[in-house]
Amino acid sequence: MSTTSVARNEELLARAEALMPGGVSSPVRAYRAVGGHPPFIVAGEGCRVRDADGRTFVDLVCSWGPLIAGHAHPAVVAAIERQARLGTSYGAPTPLEVELAAEVVAAVPSLEMVRFVSSGTEAAMSALRLARAATGRAAILKFAGCYHGHADALLSKAGSGLATLGLPGSAGVTPETAADTITVAYNDASAVRDVAERVPLAAIVVEPFAGNMGCVPPQPGFLEELRRIADATGALLVFDEVITGFRLARGGAQSIVGVRPDITTLGKVIGGGLPVGAYGASRALMSQVAPLGPMYQAGTLSGNPLAMAAGLATLRLLDDGAYARLEAAGAWLEAGLNDAIRSSGARARVQRAGSLLTLFFTDRVVRDEDDAMTSDRERFAAFHRAMLRRGVMLPPSQFECWFLSLAHDDPALEEIVTAARASLKEVTP
Ligand code: HOZ
C-alpha cells in the first residue's frame, strides 16, 4: 500500500467540510449516524485500507460492493493500466463493451441485451423509463427500505442513506412525481396484489435480496408471487441487482431463486470498482431503447473503456471456486459473530446472504423496514466506533450490508470476530 499522504484526517475533514456538503461525496460517508469522524482513505490493498493518519483497517465497506476481488487486485489494476495507456474514453463503441455485454448476457438468465450506463442510479432510472415506455403506464410500486439510487421517482422510503439520516424521502421531488410511486412493505406480496389489482402499474421494482435496510433476504415464495402478480396485471417486474448481480452468484439473485424479471439493473461488481451501471432485458423490450426504439437514454461516459476493462478483469476472477470461497467466508463470519453475540449477551442477530451480511441490534427477525427500524441504532453506533478503534471498518450505518471480498482471508476474518467479541462486550450493558 504505497501512497503519498498530503494531510492528516483532521485537517482533511476541516477542508472537506468547507468545500463539500458534510465533507463528503455521498451522505452516509459523513459518519453522522455513528459519530466520530470518517477516516480519509489514502490506499487500499486486498481486504485492508489505510487512512491519512497511517492507521490500517480490515475493510468491510469494500466501496459498498464493487470490490468483490478486494482492493487493487493485480489483474484489475493491470487491465486498467493497459487500457489507460490506450486512452480513457472515446465516446465511440469499443471491443471491451462488446466483451462485457457478452459476459453479462451469458451469465444473467433473463438478459438478451444490455445497455451500459455510469451508475446504479442511472440504471434504475432508465429501467423505469423503459417500463413506462413499454407499458404506456405511469405508476410504479416499490418496497419500503429498498434503495434504487436517487432518481426522483425512487426516493420514497428508500432505505440506505435516507433511513440512516431519518429522511422519509427527499426535498425537491415534486408531488406529481411522488404520486406515481406507491410503496408497500418488503416481503408483503398480498399488499402488492391489492395495489396491482387497483392501479395499472408500469413496474414492480424490487431488490431480490434487499441490501439497503441491512441484509434482508426474500421470504420463500415472495419473488415468485411478484412474478405471478406482474404477469396477471401487465406490470413489468424489475429486479434491482446492483448489489446482488455477480455477487450472490454469477447469474445474480435471479439465478438462485429461479424467478425471471422482465428488466434487470446491474452495477457495482460489473465495473470492478470503476463507475458503471447497466440495465437489460429481453431483445423485444430492449428494442424500445434508442436508436432501435423511442425510449431515449444516452451518456458521454457510458461503456467507459476503463470501467469495461476493470469489470471484465473482475468477472474473469469469478469462477465457481470464487463463489464457494465467498460463501465459506460469509458462513464462517456469521458463525463467529453469532458466537460473539451469545457470549456477550447482546440483543442482536446476524442476517446473511453469501458475502453480504448485517449485524442488527434487534432480536426480531428482520423481514422488512419496520423490523429493521426496531434495531438499537445508538448501540450500533457505539459498536461501530468500538470496531473502528480495533481496526475494523464497518459501513457507518445499521442499514447497510457488510461486504466480503475474495481478499478477506482467514487472518482477516479472525481479526473481525476477535474485534466483534470485544466490541459487543463493551457495548452490552
Ligand atoms: N448508501 C449508499 C450505499 N447503499 C452509499 C454509497 C456511498 O456512499 O458510496
Ligand 1 centroid, distance to 284 Cα (angstroms): 33
25 within ligand 1 shell (Cβ under 6 A) = no
Give the gyration radius of the chain's Cα atoms. 21
Please, what's the largest Cα pairwise distance for the chain? 62
Residue 63 Cα to ligand 1 middle (Å): 8
- Asked whether 399 lines ligand 1 (CB < 6 A), one says no
CA atoms in the 13 A half-sphere facing the CB of 273? 22
* pLDDT score at 1: 63
The residue with cell 468547507 is 18
Q: Is 323 marked active-site?
A: no
Q: Which CATH architecture has domain 74-315?
A: 3-Layer(aba) Sandwich (3.40)
In this structure, the number of other CB atoms found within 10 A of the CB of residue 178 comes to 15
Domain boundaries, the chain: 3-60+319-427, 74-315
CA 32, 37, 41 angle in degrees (round to 5)? 115
pLDDT number for residue 291: 98
What is the pairing mode between strands 277-281 and 263-267?
antiparallel
Ramachandran category for residue 55: left, alpha or beta (phi over 0 → left; psi -120 to 50 → alpha)? beta
130/133 Cα distance (integer angstroms) = 5
pTM for this predicted structure = 0.95
Q: What is the mean pLDDT of each run of 10 residues along the chain (429 residues)?
A: 67 96 95 94 98 96 98 98 98 98 98 98 98 97 95 79 70 84 96 96 98 97 98 98 98 98 98 98 98 97 98 98 98 98 97 98 97 97 98 97 98 98 97
Q: Would 3-60+319-427 and 74-315 be classified into the same CATH topology?
A: no
Which residue reads 459473530 in cell numbers? Answer: 337
Tell me the C-alpha distance between 225 and 190, whole Å: 9
Pair 184, 205: CB distance under 8 Å: no
240 labelled catalytic: yes
For 128-153, give the DSSP string: HHHHHHHH---EEEEEET----S-GG
Number of H helices, E strands in the chain: 15, 14
Residue 299's pLDDT is 96
CATH class as words, domain 3-60+319-427: alpha beta
Q: Is 22 in the pocket of ligand 1 (CB under 6 A)?
A: no
DSSP 48: E
Question: 292: CA distance to ligand 1 center in Å?
Answer: 33
Catalytic residue among 51, 268, 368, 371: 268
User: Does the beta carbon of 160 sit less than 6 angstroms from any atom of ligand 1?
Assistant: yes
Q: Is the peptide bond before 168 cis (omega within 30 degrees of 0)?
A: no
